[in-house]
Chain A
């Protein structure tokens, strides 16, 4: 089964960039890489996703390795509100093949110091 591996926790200082790594060595050619984040006792929030090329949006950047076996979520300037658990997820075809589902890792708990 496709799965992702992330550090349990990371720490950053406010206003500094943060690089959150993720390994997904068993990724298949049709699996998308998604990142969501979750604050305590809340539902997850979409951050970014990609397939092969690097991606940028207003929240973050996603750097995908050429062999697609790893990726890095980049927060360019961390703020206190960015403190959350960040999940690196593979979006894979369901067993029935008619839908895609998210396979969640354990996430990285990011602490941001003022």
Chain B
């Protein structure tokens, strides 16, 4: 159990377009989902914390108007990169924290989405 999926796994888009990435918890409900970004050979950087039914909390330096997060249900959160530019090319990873499940501390990570902006 505790599987998190992301779609798409890879996407290439042109500069100026928008891209939506989905994160789904397949066999559990998640009130909280996290979005991370990882550049090559670097660590994961938390972008935002998403709680179901409320606005996401963004980390310092992350533009909320550029990275739109929607967490409309207990199993789905989406990240939309608006007006993407080449510097947004990165590996985007989501994680989900289970609701009413032990252990509650554990985050389950998705396989990641590789975004390339040309």
Contacts and interface: CB of A to CB of B under 8 A. Distances in A.
Interface of A: 32, 36, 41-46, 49, 87, 91, 94, 96, 99-107
Contacts of A42: 111-112
Nearest to A106: B43
Please list the 8 inter-chain residue pairs (A to B) with the smallest Cβ-Cβ separation, ordered nearest first: A43-B109, A104-B43, A104-B44, A44-B109, A43-B111, A106-B43, A43-B110, A43-B93
B6 to A, nearest CB: 8
A41 B114 contact: yes
Given A42-B112, A87-B43, A102-B34, 8 more contacts: A41-B114, A43-B4, A46-B107, A91-B105, A96-B57, A101-B46, A101-B49, A104-B44
A44 B46 CA distance: 13
19 contacts: A42-B111, A43-B4, A43-B6, A43-B109, A43-B110, A43-B111, A44-B44, A44-B95, A44-B109, A87-B43, A94-B49, A99-B32, A99-B57, A100-B105, A101-B46, A102-B34, A104-B45, A105-B43, A106-B42
Given A42-B112, A99-B32, A105-B43, A94 B57 contact: yes
Q: Is the interface of B mostly helix, strand, loop or mixed?
A: strand
Given A96-B57, A99-B32, A43 B42 contact: no
B63 interface: no
Interface of B: 4, 6, 32, 34, 42-46, 49, 51, 57, 91, 93, 95, 105-112, 114
Contacts of B43: 87, 104-107
Given A45-B109, A91-B105, A99 B49 contact: yes
Contacts of B46: 101-104
B47 to A, nearest CB: 11
Contacts of B6: 43
Contact of A49 (B95, B105, B108, B114): B105
